[in-house]
Amino acid sequence: MTDKKIPVGILGATGSVGQKFIELLNDHPWFKINELAASERSAGKKYSEATNWIMASPLNQEIADKEIKACDTNLKSKILFSALDSSVAGELETKFAEAGYYVISNSKNHRFDEDVPLMIPEVNPDHLELIKTQKTKGAIITNPNCSTIGLVLALKPLHDAFGVKDVNVVTMQALSGGGYPGIPSMDILDNVIPFIGGEEGKMETEPLKILGKLNNGKIDQPKINISAQCNRVAVTDGHLECVQVNLKKQTSVSEIIEVLKSYKSLPQTLNLPSAPANPIEYLESDKHPQPRINRNAGAGMSVSVGRLRECPMFDYKFVILSHNTVRGAAGGTILVAELLKAKGYLDNVL
């Protein structure tokens, strides 16, 4: 890489995902935060005046003093990370792409556009080719749902080695996945909420696009049956998922564990800054993974898998854990941007 860092902007910079982008991009070796943009009520204010900083790390003074700009196409940074709310993200991201910006989005709006990649860099890096079919000066690239990412990262090596036929997944999702201020304490303390709006549909459909094969500018989706049940639990960070699978080929517990442990992909080969050395960490203890203990594996970018065993109804069952605001949101989106840069997709905007 060159010594000069690439200037980037953050859309929706005042919200919880926008704050996580700021935290993770602080001292990033390739990217430098150049602009912060948010809603009209925040535009014109200093960042420190417009946001309630909820990250564990202190707010960088340079960022605190930055003036928030409006989310319009006057931004100078041509590479934008979008943490926009879905109520406004669809139209705004399209406008930016039409104006020549590259938008790497954590929002749901464009995930199922035929020409928009739905990216997990270790799973489907070849899907980036879809942006060449987009009819805009710039491009939109999307990050999947936070619970989808952990699931698909664990399924990918199994699908490659044995073929996945059926998946049943039950999630226990952290509070931070609902944004700030989130669920009222009287609703979640001493309680589990067995519904997260739209979540089950995302988990049942997004993996099929991500695991699909790119063929002449189209994605051929695999025939995998997925059933999801999603629950909100009183955990700060870290989505835990109990998974059952049927596989196409016969195998064994020991062989599956070896496939999971050895899995690496293009981000590891390219040594991208945010890529964990091991995208999947298998834990031998029957009591793990646990959110409080294991969510920061690989600086929050690794998926922890444990309790793999035979299942009386399916072939196998296991538990996975992923950090929903790092790998599942801002960190995963930054890794997409790193892959775009490393593969030369950003050369024409730099």
Q: Is the dihedral of CA 50, 54, 57, 58 positive or negative?
A: positive
Catalytic residue among 110, 146, 159, 323: 146
Long-range Cβ contact pairs of 205-210 (< 8 A, separation 24 or more): 205/112, 206/111, 206/118, 206/144, 206/145, 206/148, 206/152, 207/148, 207/151, 207/152, 207/155, 207/167, 209/111, 209/112, 209/118, 210/118, 210/119, 210/120, 210/123, 210/124, 210/127, 210/144, 210/148, 210/152
Cβ atoms within 10 Å of 252's Cβ, excluding its own: 10
SS3 content of the chain, % helix, strand, coil (to 5): 35, 25, 40
| DSSP, residue by residue, 76-100 | S-SEEEE---HHHHHHHHHHHHHTT
| Phi, psi dihedrals of residue 136, rounded to the nearest 5° | -130, 160
Specify whether 146 is catalytic. yes
How would you class 137 by CB atoms within 10 Å of its CB: exposed for 0-12, middle for 13-18, buried for 19 or more?
middle
Catalytic residue among 110, 127, 159, 239: 239
Specify whether 110 is catalytic. no
Q: Which residues are catalytic?
A: 146, 239
